[in-house]
Amino acid sequence: MSVMSGMDVIVIGAGVSGLTTAVAMSLAGRRVAIFAAEGPSQTTSALAAAIWHPFYQAPDLIYLSRARHTYGAMHRLSSDASSGVSMRPLTEYFRRDAGVPWWADCASGLCRVPPARVPSRFACAYRMDVPVAVTETYLRYLMNMFLELGGRFVPRRIEDPSALLDEVEIVVNCCGFGSRQFGDDALSLSRAVVLRATRDDAVQGCFIDDSDPFAPTYIVERDDDIVLGGTAEPDLTSTVIGQRQIDGIVRRCTRLCEGVAALRIIDARVGFRPVRHSPRVVRDERYARLLHNYGHGGGGFTLSWGCANDIVRLAGEVPSAA
């Protein structure tokens, strides 16, 4: 029997976008297979801090809709301990007081931090509750959900997504930077260095200052560790992490939360975000039955369910295969 017997959709890629898309398509009644050269634990998504937050994003109604949809979905999943998702308090610091963040109506528990509790180098700060995922647990949870819905995982590297249209009705490309080999020259890489530290009561909650586009500073408390970040280094592909860079991240994070100084660093990791001027969540220009969902930069988790929902909608508009 053919691997694709009974399947009508192939999703390429097993990162958070691919897994979420495959689950959403399965929930919509599609029979889905994931084709991926690597399992979820080997993807860029596995290295992410996985906090819901619109990093570096200018006001955008489409982005807002996708982020709101994702917030709601992950908030609901946080009630299931096995999902790896929990709601955490986030304090975000701003160098300029522009009022309530434009995306704030997505988040619950929003309040302005009293000025006396805001370091003098910042103009203001806001506190809110946001979803945070333990990446390994969450990606495994999505994969298990997908398989329980009747999906299939096929370890296979794809050279040309359009060639798969001979096998199924719809193909969804969620390959991230791998899509550059498919002809998307608008994609670039941004190198991210993140540290993992042991949990300690000295750090409770999450903290963010993303005023520097090349050096976002964030502290993300998770169930089993604390993530410290980070960097956003355009077009840098080296996997070497210097001690000076590690010390710089710790120093910046300590200025956001003094308790960071008490943490023990477990390891330093490097990953590469696929960046475009905007995420590509569209129907292919040449092949009506080929859909794309990638290029989210640092927003893969923040946009995952919203973008997957848009793909389900696009799939419903695709003409049946001849």
pTM, whole model, 2 decimals?
0.93
Residue with tokens 């540290």: 195
Q: How far apart are CA 312 and CA 291, in angstroms?
A: 10
Tens digit of pLDDT at every position of the chain (322 positions): 455 678 999 999 999 999 999 999 999 999 999 999 988 888 888 888 899 999 877 889 999 999 999 999 999 999 999 999 999 999 999 999 999 999 999 999 999 999 999 999 999 999 999 999 999 999 999 999 999 999 999 999 999 999 999 999 999 999 988 888 888 989 998 999 999 999 999 999 999 999 998 999 999 999 999 999 989 999 888 999 999 999 999 999 999 999 999 999 999 999 888 888 889 999 999 999 999 999 998 899 999 999 999 999 999 987 654 3
- Give the DSSP H or E segment for 62: helix 61-77
Q: How far apart are CA 134 and CA 199, in angstroms?
A: 13
Name the CATH superfamily, with its identifier, for domain 9-315. NAD(P)-binding Rossmann-like Domain (3.40.50.720)
- The full length of the chain comes to 322
Break the chain into its structural domains and give their ranges. Answer: 9-315
**Left, alpha or beta for 80 (phi > 0: left; psi -120 to 50: alpha)?**
beta
